[in-house]
Structure 1
Amino acid sequence: MQNRLSEWANIAGAITVLPNFSARAGRRFFVVAVLAGFLSPALAQHSPSAAWQSTGCDSFGISEAPESVKCGFVEVPLRHARPHGPSISLATVVIPAQTSQAEPDPLFIAQGGPGGSTIDTFADVLINQPGYRPVLNRDLVLWDQRGTLHSKPALLCPEIAAADLQAVQANAVELSEAQQMRPYIECGHRLATEAGDLSAFNTVENANDVAAVAAALGYASINFYGVSYGTELGQYLMRQHPELVRGVILDAVVPTSFNLLTDVPFVQQRIGEKYFGGCAADPECAAAFPDLGSRFLALLDRLDAAPVRVEVRNPDAADGTAYAVDLDGGLLADALYQALYMQEMHSLIPYLVDRADKGDYQFVASVLLPLMLFDDTMAIGMYVAVVCAEHGDTDSSDLSYAGLARRLEESGKESAAAMLEICRAWDIEPLDNSVHEPVVSDIPALLLSGEFDPITPPSFAAEVGASLARDYQVNFPSGSHGQAFGDTCADGLIQRFLDSPDTWPPGSCAQANPGDYLLPGDILVVPALQGFVSSANDAGLARVARLSLSMLAGLLLLASAIPAYAIGGLWVRMRGRVVQHGGGAGALLSVCAPWLVCGAALLLGIFVYQFAQALAESYNSEPALLYLGAIRSEYGHIFTYAFAALVLLAVVIVTAVTLWTGERRSRAGRVYFTALALAAIIVVYSLWRLGMLVLP
């Protein structure tokens, strides 16, 4: 059995794609994608019930929350049909509306997964960055769904995460099937002891929780936003509590019939064809990256036969602990698939595949693998419980993946078999098959899709919308997994929809086509930026900070030469003094000394300023370049200033030696000039250590 549950986690909304047990035994990561969040009205306007228990927002890891933001737990039954039975506590955050005329119905926000933390993903962003809030005239209610990070109990499985990390490290021992399954079995047994009835952690009870939280907070009617798995939860809510829901926004829509155990390979095939086929149909992309799809599959086979060792750092560790990881084809495929969830990565995908085919795994090792290997917020137990409840009775004996790539066919069958074994071991009670039927409803629903979504394509929204009487579907041609929060078009659509759910929101703003793929000639990789991306931990950032401060200090001292020599020269003339330059060739250097050091200061200052400007403009037009540690190549000319300053620096050093050996200028003048020369050396050294001296 091959086993890898691919995983990611980054800033908001998610879906997890189940065990993709592939080429190398002993590996499991969960594939999780991201998105971002929102805000809500004064709790004082509503009367929380006794089920609400306030707590400090810092207990949820929320930094600097204003007093108006309310944090607490809502106690709900473990089984809503047994109100006097065991109970659980749902972590909840209420962010009040930002307008004086707040609407009474809030917006509930549901994270994906299943198993993702809504609070961890959205709260800080929505509280501290108002630009990410699509509406300001409604309360935002964030709650961690039952079993997730901040709720009690949380169905976390650190033993699985530890085994996953151990399995990919260099020289890892090959494990038997039983050994590979052991962490899952151990986690299931532990959670059954700690949490009790694991079968209660399902989408039916999850939807009932929404109604319970609304009642506890005093809301008679709510609006609902869900992303990815959150859209499935939203459909269950529409079916189970239609009287509560005023309107729903389903972003990255998951049909209730979608089977995470068996259906993922089909959507993976679709997105692969979309990227590789799109590049082949684009003359410039095809010329820059010929036969990209074939080369990618061949690369995966090569890495399966001979894995490449890469260094991966834990960004959450203060010292940036490094691990030697053997990168095989399956792990690379999982890592690049995860990149497809980030819309800003769209233009870079062909380039990243091409670089990997040529042996450059820097981006994979410094950005993608850390996201996969070191996320500790995903409630794997919640994921397993939900998926097993919905699909644990799947018959995998006659699965057909005809027409799919060989790798997808193999991993699809193996993943389904592995997950079904986990479901049996956890003894999760299956839900009635009626939960998979389409939800029939007349509740207004806004369905948002992205053409480049790697897991929930636009056809899913059409499938769900077919049974909804008042649905509005908007497809974003350049969109990926989740459109809301930060996208002005999507956020505007949500605002207009919530203001008037019965009016079709104009979706013309969504029709912007995706930009062109970035070609090698468009990109200039800067080692300084690559190092910053790969060293985003306390130790790495401290090093960058030290070098940056030394560079700035040197620049300030150098810059002092311009006013100092200008004022000093004027003073000498006014006093009628003569600067002693001596004779010979050194006299010319003595005369030119102020001009040399001022020229170096100007060149270095211009370089640093233009480099900062190039960063801002590059990332404004192509945010993905930040992840790559690069700027647009059109700014390559700015490095000419740095190299010109290097030439001047060499002359400055020679001049400093000449001034001392020939006793030219005053002693104070020689000391000051030497200090300037040392400052220039410090600046250039810092630039070199930061990797900012790139050939233009």
Structure 2
Amino acid sequence: MLKTLLAAGLALLGLAAAAPAAAGDPVYVVKDCPADWPTDVRTVECGTLTVDETRGAADSRRIDIAVVRVRASRPFQDANGQALPPVVVFHGGPGGALVGGVGRRLGFWRDRPDADPMAAIDQDWIYFDQRGGGQSTPSMDCPGVELTDAGLPSAQDAEGLTDCLKRYADQGVQLSQYNAAVIAQDVADLARALGLPKVDLYGGSYGPRIQAAVITHAPQIVRVAVMDSPWPPEGNWAVHTPEQVATAVRIILGKCAAQSECDARHPNLTARFEANAREWLAGPRTGADGKARTVEDLAAFLMDTTYDRQGVRRLPADLEKIIGGDLSPVAAIAEDRTYYFEGQHMAHLCKEELPFESKAALVAGAAGDPIAEVSVPSLSRLFDVCAAIDVGAADPVENAPVHTAIPTLFIAAEIDPGCPPALTRAAAANYRDSQVMIVTNATHGVTGQNACAARAARDFLRDPTKAVDQTCLPAADTPLVFSED
């Protein structure tokens, strides 16, 4: 995978080369950016942060973390005339990536300069691929393994992922060192290497889980944080997720039932889909195309569709197809179930999520609700993988709520099967100077789909002491617009 990134920063180069680094010190080196990235949009600097894989170990090998810094086009100054610190951006997953997509972001900003109010205008934005994935090294991808937020679709995928992780361990990768707590120290080292006394934090989905670790383990470097569709440390990854998916489905179908036209097209849809879900739980279903699909395929469909702003609008029509034997909506989701760096994903879950949960609690929570029970088989396999690999003991602090006075803006979607608004409200209660936005009809990844939320995030970063404007949000009773296409 492409590892080297960009460069237009003699200052950074000078900083990195100013003095010989001691063994174990973080080292930042500027690299060339990909030649096909636009150069007429922002000043962009690419680099690699090199750190110890295992901090404190005398014989630790060194690993590389891919970084891109996009310079602000019009740096904003606060009331004291001070420039704002850079924003460090955290990708979701775990097992996502950011660096490879910066070129596309630059192209988008060039073609639509006013479409993104947070497009590195006020502050520098620093993108990085968290250790273990993306263009960082090692990058623990597991080709051939299918994995989604609904879990592992088959026993073969569980076996393949287990074997993949064991191969990385045999190659010398310390699986215990790829998790939120260690990444928090990477962020602190990045700030140190770049000479940044303070940074702001911004992330979505699992990104806020890493932000929470930075706030816990390196609070001295954080000025403010923005968390979009946040996953807090105290959340249960598998346990209660089936119920959250079922809740999201019922919210959407309830919005359909509340509209006469949608209700007439899809009468009594919730009850009919519950009956259909029971049929899926009894065994594979064969579609009109003659191909069999499993309950795990349906689980992935429900999770991914209720995450997606277009998917929620199509859900009643898609469920009608599924109930009628046309399984094409399920098949479409099944075509793309390899969007994570699977090894990185599981290293996080096995260290800091699943040790605090159990397969028995997963099953018990979903029992009696056929829509929830659909997600149990694929999520159960996550526990099987973790039982077969060694990532070290879990620290209870990584499952505890964060208590802090660092100003934080929480933005959550009304419809979110993975990071529901109730979880956001509970987490925010422990952030003394927090603000919370819950956006009606929005789905996962709010600032990318709601201009009001994006402006609020920018305003908060400018001045976290002011209440963000929520008057531009849709009212709680705003109908959801459905699509039959």
Query: Which TM bucket (shorter chain)?
Result: 0.7 to 0.9
- Note if contact 2:242-2:374 (Cα within 8 Å) is conserved in structure 1: no
1:441 is paired with a residue of what secondary structure?
coil
CA distance change for structure 1 residues 153 and 134 in 2, over 3 Å: closer, same or farther? same
C-alpha distance in 1, partners of 2:279/2:366? 24
1:461 CA displacement: 1.4
1:390 aligns with 2:352: yes
Which of 402, 405, 413 is the aligned partner of 1:439?
402
2:473 is paired with a residue of what secondary structure?
helix
CA distance change for structure 1 residues 358 and 416 in 2, over 3 Å: closer, same or farther? closer
TM-score normalised to structure 2 length = 0.84
C-alpha distance in 1, partners of 2:231/2:353? 14
1:97 aligns with 2:72: yes
- 1:357 corresponds to: 323
Give the length in aligned residue pairs: 449
CA distance change for structure 1 residues 418 and 370 in 2, over 3 Å: closer, same or farther? closer
1:52 aligns with 2:17: no
- 2:466 corresponds to: 503
- Note if contact 1:108-1:223 (Cα within 8 Å) is conserved in structure 2: yes
- Letter of the 1:76 counterpart: V
Q: How does 1:130-529 map to 2 (within 5 A)?
A: 130=113, 131-135=115-119, 136-161=121-146, 181-302=158-279, 304-308=283-287, 310=289, 326-365=292-331, 367-372=332-337, 375=338, 377-394=339-356, 396=358, 398-399=360-361, 400-401=364-365, 404-406=368-370, 408-409=372-373, 411-412=375-376, 414-415=377-378, 417-485=380-448, 487-512=450-475, 514-518=478-482
1:107 CA displacement: 0.8
2:54 is paired with a residue of what secondary structure?
coil
1:63 aligns with 2:37: yes
Structure 2 gaps of 5+ residues are: 1-6, 18-26, 78-82
- Letter of the 1:87 counterpart: R
- Rg comparison, structure with higher value: 1
More contact order relative to length (CA 8 Å, sep ≥ 6): 2
C-alpha distance in 1, partners of 2:183/2:210? 7
1:106 aligns with 2:83: no
C-alpha distance in 2, partners of 1:430/1:267? 28
- 1:524 corresponds to: none
TM-score normalised to structure 1 length = 0.60
CA distance change for structure 1 residues 471 and 99 in 2, over 3 Å: closer, same or farther? same
- Note if contact 1:396-1:416 (Cα within 8 Å) is conserved in structure 2: no
- Root-mean-square deviation over aligned CA pairs: 2.9
C-alpha distance in 1, partners of 2:187/2:343? 20
1:86 CA displacement: 1.7
- Letter of the 2:128 counterpart: W
CA distance change for structure 1 residues 88 and 133 in 2, over 3 Å: closer, same or farther? farther
Larger deviation, residues 330-339 vs 143-152: 330-339
Q: How does 1:559-578 map to 2 (within 5 A)?
A: none
C-alpha distance in 1, partners of 2:44/2:291? 42
C-alpha distance in 2, partners of 1:195/1:116? 22
1:401 is paired with a residue of what secondary structure?
helix
1:213 CA displacement: 1.5
CA distance change for structure 1 residues 89 and 404 in 2, over 3 Å: closer, same or farther? farther
1:411 CA displacement: 4.2
1:446 CA displacement: 0.4
1:150 CA displacement: 0.7
1:488 CA displacement: 1.9
Percent of residue pairs identical: 24
C-alpha distance in 2, partners of 1:450/1:181? 31
C-alpha distance in 2, partners of 1:57/1:408? 46
1:87 aligns with 2:62: yes
C-alpha distance in 2, partners of 1:271/1:197? 37
1:301 CA displacement: 4.7
C-alpha distance in 2, partners of 1:433/1:139? 34
Structure 1 gaps of 5+ residues are: 1-40, 169-174, 311-323, 521-627, 629-696
CA distance change for structure 1 residues 191 and 402 in 2, over 3 Å: closer, same or farther? closer
C-alpha distance in 2, partners of 1:65/1:263? 46
More helix by share: 1
- Letter of the 1:510 counterpart: L
2:212 is paired with a residue of what secondary structure?
helix
CA distance change for structure 1 residues 108 and 309 in 2, over 3 Å: closer, same or farther? farther
- Letter of the 1:470 counterpart: D
- Note if contact 1:444-1:470 (Cα within 8 Å) is conserved in structure 2: yes
